[in-house]
Structure formats: structure tokens, C-alpha cells
């Protein structure tokens, strides 16, 4: 059966798995194997997502599962996204129903003032979008906020299933060249750009993060191109989209280069700030 979640359109045999490691075929239907399988859970500051202009100073219950449809060599969550430890993480995951997770978010919001609701994060939540949709619908009905932290690598049909229940998202726009997206990340730049544009045009609160990686996207031209593209969305209304420029540190499968120079991050932030109203630096 063909999976239509992202650009890969994997042909998955019965009982097999797609490229993401989390979508399978059961009884002739493509389903998320990781439905309700929780590997990570924490009560985080909203700024950690990072969301700088969405209820600053608040907290949110953050949950993750396993699997990812990209192959970023600098992955910060490789133990649950892709790599040798993912199957172990999958086996050790705790199963929660949408009702159980929504109730947990509600209880925390009642116990702790300033706790917003639920964030789907850590691994790539879109590869298990059905669980995100089912849970977010319940938390939305309880007047809680839902946040998505994502690489934006999904068909617009998937995004449209989620948008009625998602109040804010941070999308990784990892670089601004097709070569970088294809050869280094195994992704599709056009799909991510379309995802960001659709979410923003819908009215969802959108913030964007670019990890500045030496040798991948660390030029003034590329950072300015990202900022100018964002600013031009929805007839110029995109100037209000916050852009987070974060510092790279060598890790996982990318240890062949130094950490990004701090002065470079600040210089790029000043440059992007010429066309965007809100630019933030991270990991500096």
C-alpha cells in the first residue's frame, strides 16, 4: 500500500514499515505503528519549543513518540528519531490513548496556572498525525492550546486535518537550497515551504527555526533569502513571523566541523532583522 503522508509516498508491504520507521500496513491499510506510543514527556517552558511570541512565560506538556521522515546528520533527538536506538525506544514506549493524554494535559493545566496544554514534539509528530489529530481535538474541546514542533515535511492534506486544532507551531526550515535539503537532509524544500505558507495563511501562529550549520547554510545570502521569503508571505504579512537562528554544535553523525561562530549568529540575526520584525538567536 502507498503511504501519502509525505513526499516519499512509500510503498509499504503488509507488516512492513515506511522510510520513517513508524508507518506500517495492517489489513491492507496504512496506519501509524507509533499511534499513542510515547517515548518522551516533559513539562517545558513554551520558549523551549521554541515559541517566543505565543504566551511567553507559560509552560506546556510536551510529548514525543518515535520515527522521522528526514535524516539530518546533526539530529538532536536521534535516539527516538532515527538511528540504531530507535527500535529499542519503540519497544520501551508507553501507550496512552488520546483520552488519557488529553486528561493528563487538563489535569496539569488545572494544577499549575500558566500551563497551556499540549505540544507534539521531540521526534517528528507528523508521521503519526492521526494521533496528533485525535488528541488535539480533545484538548481543543477542553479549551487547551495545542502546539506542533515539526520539520514541515507532510502533504497539505495532512496539515489540513490538523489545522482546526493546532494553535501554534514552530517549523524547521533547515536551509534554503534544494541541494542541501535533498543531499544532506533527505528532505523536500518545496514541501516544507508550502507547509509553512499554508499554516500561516490559515491563521495559525507560526514561528520558524533555522539551525545555522557551517558548510550547509552559513552564508549571508541564504539567511537573507529565508528572511525575505518569510516576509513576503501573504502579501507582506509574513514580516510578523518570528525567525529563530540557532547555533549548531557538532553531534551525532556530523562531528566533522566546529560549532557555529557566535558572532556569525548575531550578524545573521541583524541581517534578517532588516526585513523581519522578530528575529531571535538560540544556543548562543
Write out the residue range of the structural domain in which residue 265 sits. Answer: 23-282
206-218 tens-digit pLDDT: 999 999 999 999 9
User: What contacts 231, CB < 8 A, 6 or more positions away?
Assistant: 238, 239, 241, 275, 276
Domain of 93, CATH number, reads 3.20.20.70
Residue 5 lies in a domain: no
Number of domains, the chain: 1
β pairing state of 205-212 and 243-247:
parallel
10 in any annotated domain = no
User: If we measure between CA atoms, which residue out of 97, 169, 94 comes closest to residue 134?
Assistant: 97
* 85 located within any domain: yes
Contact between residue 127 and residue 34 where contact means Cβ atoms under 8 Å apart: yes
Q: Nearest-CA neighbor of 126 among 92, 177, 166?
A: 166
Q: What is the pLDDT of residue 113?
A: 84
Note whether 185 and 70 are within 8 A (CB): yes
Angle at CA of residue 106, ends 105 and 108, nearest 5°:
65
pLDDT score, position 17:
97
Residue 169 pLDDT: 98
Residue 83: predicted pLDDT: 86
Please check the confidence at residue 184 and state whether its pLDDT lies above 90. yes
Distance, CA of 196 to CA of 271 (rounded, Å): 21
Q: How far is CA 192 from the centre of its chain?
A: 10
C-alpha cell at 280: 531571535
Instruction: Quote the CA–CA distance of 249 and 230 in Å, as a whole number.
Output: 25
Q: Report the C-alpha gap between 53 and 57 in whole angstroms.
A: 10
- Chain-wide mean pLDDT for the chain? 97
For residue 54, the model assigns a pLDDT of: 98
Contacts of 194 (CB under 8 A, 6+ apart): 156
Does 12 fall in a domain? no
Q: What's the pLDDT score for residue 69?
A: 98
The residues, ordered by sequence, that sit 6+ positions from 14 with a Cβ below 8 Å of its Cβ are 1, 25, 26, 28
User: What is residue 63's predicted lDDT score, i.e. its pLDDT?
Assistant: 98
**Model pLDDT for residues 84-120, shown as the tens digit of each residue:** 899 999 999 999 999 999 999 999 999 988 899 999 9
3 falls within a domain:
no
4 occurs within a structural domain: no
Taking only the tens place, the pLDDT of each residue in 49-92 is 999 999 999 999 999 999 999 999 999 999 999 988 999 999 99
Single pTM value for the model: 0.97
The answer to whether residue 13 sits within a structural domain is no
What is each CA distance from 10 to 6, 114, 283, in whole angstroms? 9, 41, 35
Per-residue pLDDT averaged across 257-265, rounded? 98
Q: Give pLDDT tens digits for 221-248.
A: 999 999 999 999 999 999 999 999 999 9
pLDDT digits (tens, 9 = 90+) for 131-172: 999 999 999 999 999 999 999 999 999 999 999 999 999 999
Q: Is 17 a member of any domain? A: no
pLDDT of residue 191: 98
Amino acid at each position: 500500500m502507498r503511504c501519502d503522508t509525505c513526499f516519499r509516498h512509500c510503498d509499504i508491504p503488509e507488516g512492513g514499515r515506511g522510510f520513517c520507521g513508524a508507518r506500517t500496513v495492517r489489513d491492507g491499510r496504512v496506519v501509524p505503528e507509533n499511534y499513542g506510543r510515547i517515548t518522551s514527556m516533559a513539562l517545558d517552558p513554551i520558549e523551549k519549543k521554541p515559541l517566543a511570541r505565543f504566551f511567553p512565560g507559560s509552560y506546556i506538556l510536551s510529548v514525543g513518540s518515535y520515527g522521522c521522515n528526514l535524516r539530518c546528520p546533526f539530529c538532536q533527538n536521534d535516539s527516538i528519531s532515527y538511528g540504531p536506538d530507535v527500535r529499542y525506544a519503540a519497544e520501551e514506549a508507553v501507550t496512552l490513548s488520546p483520552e488519557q493524554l488529553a486528561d493528563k494535559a487538563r489535569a496539569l493545566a488545572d494544577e499549575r496556572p500558566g500551563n497551556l496544554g499540549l505540544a507534539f514534539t521531540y521526534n517528528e509528530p507528523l508521521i503519526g498525525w492521526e494521533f496528533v489529530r485525535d488528541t488535539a481535538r480533545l484538548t481543543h474541546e477542553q479549551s487547551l492550546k495545542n502546539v506542533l514542533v515539526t520539520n514541515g515535511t507532510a502533504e497539505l492534506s495532512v496539515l489540513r486535518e490538523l489545522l482546526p486544532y493546532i494553535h501554534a507551531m514552530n517549523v524547521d526550515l533547515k536551509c534554503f537550497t534544494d541541494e542541501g535539503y535533498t543531499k544532506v537532509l533527505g528532505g523536500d524544500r518545496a514541501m516544507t515551504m508550502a507547509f509553512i505558507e499554508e499554516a500561516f495563511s490559515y491563521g495559525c501562529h507560526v514561528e520558524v527555526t533555522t539551525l545555522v550549520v557551517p558548510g550547509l547554510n552559513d552564508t549571508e545570502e541564504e539567511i537573507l533569502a529565508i528572511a525575505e521569503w518569510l516576509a513576503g508571505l501573504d502579501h507582506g504579512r509574513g514580516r510578523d513571523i518570528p525567525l529563530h537562528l540557532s547555533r549548531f554544535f557538532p553531534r551525532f553523525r556530523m562531528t566533522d566541523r566546529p560549532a557555529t561562530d557566535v558572532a556569525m549568529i548575531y550578524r545573521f540575526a541583524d541581517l534578517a532583522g532588516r526585513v523581519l520584525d522578530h528575529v531571535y538567536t538560540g544556543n548562543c
